[in-house]
């Protein structure tokens, strides 16, 4: 069988789902179809070297075998229903009806978004058993490309915290050690993909929720420029600009393909961007010769980090530098403690919608303590505090903009700790420094969120215990394509994505 790099290399620059010569692809189909990347799987289905039923059965077999250990996929549809849908996809191909690059591919939606006919519990007992009556916007776009929705991916309650546990579905383990957390809030998505129970995945990101689980599962997670992947909020359309949906992938090509599917203007989201992300074949790997990377590290000692995190990231940067990139340490001209206070204000304000649950004593009992704390932080918040946070947010953006005068891209770790036991809700200390909130240990991710910039998590390596770590690469506003083209170059000069997990069998 071809080396993964050689096989993927054959797909670059070609049209969607028609990436490889038919005879070459037919000879290289692995016996386990879940080994194919999403792009390869798309080509195999389109050229009818495999049937959608065969693909669905392969994924169902793997899910039934391993999901009891990892708990990545929840609220699944029945096998008979899914195989019947796969058969309809095959019938369509036989009639030359092609639905899109995800035609007949199994897909699971993060359990914070709606997929018609599937449960949306958001990990909360309040919504357990709630069946969605329509698709969220990005879900509809994925469905329009022919994906078959098999279920949902696990998430913490209401997406709060980077540890995917909840009272409805339990905790999700890391693909590299299911006793450790998969991160969150897109933990089920990242683990499901890394364990090859899913070919590709999507999620959402407010406080690193695409990036942190990407790091903890050694996959790609991309937070787009704010407004690039629109949603249709049920209430405010203008002020809350912290969260966004985005793609994840086993490799950069898959991530780009799903990103193009999810992105694009929608009039129901007035702040969504109107320029289009091109198809994958318009992307070109960045030339690393002379490419300038600004390494922000732990913000000059401001952030507490577990031993080994910085060293692993710097080792990965050395590999990039050996290919011609220029890596320099740099720091934003900004009070990082003030950035945290800005974050707390905006985050609490965003959680004011919890009032309907908080005011009902019976519902309040069902909320986890972190959700109660977030809401209580929003109570009686003066407008002057929100206004100041907005001004401080603007100054943070300007501080990063100043760094981009010297650097093409900025880098820092994706997490401050390695994956920790999933029985622990959140780390209480890092290197002896007390974490004063349930999300203080995730402070490293707030910079990209507050600025609204495109940020990609790329795997950076493993520690001596085999725990994965990732790095965030932050690009200029709106330059999502450039960030992903850098990711293509990074992938070509490192081999971290080649290291797959050793799967743990059920007892």
Catalytic center residues: 110, 185, 209
Task: Classify each residue of 472-507 as buried b or exposed e, where b means 16 or more C-beta atoms within 10 Å of its C-beta.
Answer: bbbbbbbbbbbbbbbbbbbbbbbebbeeebeebeee
3-class SS of residue 148: strand
Contact 262, 202 (CB under 8 A): yes
Contact 172, 165 (CB under 8 A): yes
The span from the CA of 114 to the CA of 109, in Å, is: 8
Q: What is the CA radius of gyration of the chain?
A: 21
Interstrand relation of 148-153 and 106-110 (parallel, antiparallel or unpaired): parallel
- E strand intervals along 296-404: 326-329
The span from the CA of 155 to the CA of 182, in Å, is: 10
Contact 308, 463 (CB under 8 A): yes
* Environment class of 92 (CB within 10 Å of its CB; exposed 0-12, middle 13-18, buried 19+): middle
How far CA 370 is from CA of 364, 393, 481, 484, in Å, comes to 12, 24, 36, 34
The span from the CA of 66 to the CA of 272, in Å, is: 39
Structure token pair of residue 155:
């998430």
The span from the CA of 406 to the CA of 236, in Å, is: 37
3-class SS of residue 98: coil
- Residue 369 burial (CB count, 10 A): 9
Task: Classify each residue of 215-247 as buried b or exposed e, where b means 16 or more C-beta atoms within 10 Å of its C-beta.
Answer: bbbbbbbbbbbbbbbbbeeeeeeeeebbbbbbb
* Environment class of 109 (CB within 10 Å of its CB; exposed 0-12, middle 13-18, buried 19+): buried
The span from the CA of 180 to the CA of 162, in Å, is: 12
Contact 190, 221 (CB under 8 A): yes
């Amino acid at each position: 069988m071809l080396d993964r790099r050689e096989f993927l290399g054959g797909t670059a620059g070609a049209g969607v789902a028609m990436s490889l010569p038919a005879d070459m692809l037919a000879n290289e189909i692995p016996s386990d179809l879940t080994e194919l990347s999403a792009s390869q799987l798309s080509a195999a289905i389109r050229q009818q070297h495999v049937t959608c039923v065969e693909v669905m059965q392969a994924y169902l077999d793997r899910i039934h075998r391993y999901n009891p250990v990892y708990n990545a996929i929840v609220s699944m549809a029945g096998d008979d229903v899914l195989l019947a849908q796969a058969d309809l996809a095959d019938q369509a191909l036989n009639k030359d009806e092609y639905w899109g690059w995800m035609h007949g591919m199994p897909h699971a939606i993060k359990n914070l978004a709606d997929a018609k006919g599937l449960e949306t519990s958001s990990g909360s007992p309040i919504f357990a058993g709630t069946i969605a009556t329509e698709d969220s916007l990005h879900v509809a776009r994925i469905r329009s490309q022919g994906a078959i929705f098999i279920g949902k991916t696990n998430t913490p309650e209401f997406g709060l915290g980077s540890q995917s546990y909840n009272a409805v579905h339990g905790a999700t383990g890391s693909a590299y050690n299911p006793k450790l957390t998969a991160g969150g809030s897109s933990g089920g998505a990242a683990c499901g993909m890394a364990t090859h129970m899913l070919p590709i995945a999507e999620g959402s990101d407010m406080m690193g929720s695409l990036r942190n689980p990407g790091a903890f599962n050694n996959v790609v997670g991309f937070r787009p420029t704010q407004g690039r992947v629109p949603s249709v909020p049920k209430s405010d359309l203008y002020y809350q600009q912290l969260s966004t949906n985005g793609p994840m992938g086993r490799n950069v090509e898959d991530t780009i393909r799903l990103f193009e599917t999810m992105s694009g203007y929608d009039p129901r989201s007035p702040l969504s961007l109107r320029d289009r992300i091109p198809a994958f074949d318009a992307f070109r790997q960045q030339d690393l010769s002379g490419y300038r990377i600004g390494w922000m590290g732990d913000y000059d000692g401001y952030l507490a980090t577990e031993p080994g995190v910085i060293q692993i990231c710097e080792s990965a940067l050395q590999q990039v530098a050996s290919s011609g990139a220029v890596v320099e340490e740099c720091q934003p001209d900004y009070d990082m403690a003030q950035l945290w206070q800005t974050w707390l204000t905006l985050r609490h304000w965003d959680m004011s919608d919890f009032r309907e649950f908080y005011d009902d004593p019976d519902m309040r009992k069902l909320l986890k303590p972190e959700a109660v704390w977030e809401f209580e932080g929003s109570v009686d918040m003066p407008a002057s505090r929100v206004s100041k946070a907005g001004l401080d947010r603007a100054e943070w953006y300007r501080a990063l903009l100043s760094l981009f005068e010297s650097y093409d891209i900025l880098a820092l770790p994706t997490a401050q700790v390695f994956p920790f036991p999933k029985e622990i809700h959140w780390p209480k200390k890092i290197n002896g420094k007390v974490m004063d909130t349930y999300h203080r240990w995730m402070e490293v991710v707030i910079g990209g969120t507050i600025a609204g910039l495109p940020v990609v998590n790329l795997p950076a390596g493993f520690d001596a215990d085999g725990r994965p770590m990732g790095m965030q690469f932050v690009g200029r506003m709106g330059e999502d394509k450039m960030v992903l083209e850098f990711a293509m170059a990074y992938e070509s000069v490192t081999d971290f994505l080649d290291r797959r997990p050793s799967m743990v069998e059920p007892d």
